[in-house]
A and B are shown apart, each in its own frame.
Chain A
Amino acid sequence: DSGVTQTPKHLITATGQRVTLRCSPRSGDLSVYWYQQSLDQGLQFLIHYYNGEERAKGNILERFSAQQFPDLHSELNLSSLELGDSALYFCASRKTGGSYNEQFFGPGTRLTVL
């Protein structure tokens, strides 16, 4: 158990809908990273938040947005969903105080868009 939690574990929805994925980082970690993993694909970086502020963006669609709240949990919002958005979505938290980018992943949310 990495200490990172994600809810829900599974999500099934229809095209055009909007969903929110939730992540709680490890206790004491200030950074949250979001990744998308499509079938047989690697981990695509979406966005990084540190202590409530956006720090970096990767290949994140304009239909997607995220935020990090004062209690450090983060939410990834996906709107106008398309079939191609079906994927596993992971968040990871970075060890605070470490000199290197040690990231610990949550169990993921499997999103299925029908």
Chain B
Amino acid sequence: GENVEQHPSTLSVQEGDSAVIKCTYSDSASNYFPWYKQELGKGPQLIIDIRSNVGEKKDQRIAVTLNKTAKHFSLHITETQPEDSAVYFCAAHLPGNTPLVFGKGTRLSVIA
């Protein structure tokens, strides 16, 4: 089955700096890669996703890149703000009736 590794487990950045979170997946057949943000006491919120036929996707200050050859994908947050502080999860999905497989999460702290 699919396995997703996520790094780093914790990340601290100064407000205004960029943050990068990286994930690798094991099954080259995976074709969908969402990112979720989980704030304290809340459920995970889908913030951006990328499909295997696309190499990069951007939405305002967040972007995701996908390298299918290397089987890794990354989340980039630019101009970080204190409200970006949260736990971020990556996930991968194989085609068909299979569940999302999540990484273990990255706790991002943006220091004002």
Query: Which A residues are within 8 Å of any B CB, using their own CB?
Result: 2, 4, 6, 33, 41-43, 45, 48, 55-56, 58, 90, 100-108
Contact = CB atoms under 8 A, between A and B. Distances in A.
A101 B43 contact: no
Contacts of A33: 99-100
Contacts of A58: 99
Contacts of A41: 104
Contact of A103 (B42, B100, B105): B100
A108 B43 contact: yes
Contact of B100 (A55, A101, A106, A108): A101
Interface of B: 31-32, 34, 36, 42-46, 49, 51, 89, 93, 97-105
B43 A107 contact: yes
Contacts of A108: 42-43
Contacts of B97: 48, 55-56
A107 B89 contact: no
Contact of B93 (A48, A55, A100, A104): A100
Given A2-B43, A56-B98, A101 B103 contact: no
Contact of A107 (B31, B42, B46): B42
A100 B99 CA distance: 11
- A contacts with B: majority SS: loop
A82 B34 CA distance: 33
Question: Which of B36, B98, B99, B105 has the most chain A CB within a 10 Å cutoff?
Answer: B99
Question: Which of B31, B36, B100, B105 has the most chain A CB within a 10 Å cutoff?
Answer: B100
A105 B49 contact: no
Given A102-B49, A105-B46, 14 more contacts: A33-B99, A42-B89, A42-B103, A43-B102, A45-B99, A45-B100, A48-B97, A100-B32, A101-B98, A102-B34, A103-B34, A104-B46, A106-B43, A107-B42
Contacts of B104: 41-42
A104 B43 CA distance: 9
24 contacts: A4-B43, A33-B99, A33-B100, A42-B103, A42-B104, A43-B102, A45-B100, A48-B97, A48-B99, A56-B98, A58-B99, A100-B31, A100-B51, A100-B93, A101-B99, A101-B100, A102-B46, A103-B46, A103-B100, A104-B46, A105-B43, A106-B43, A107-B42, A108-B43
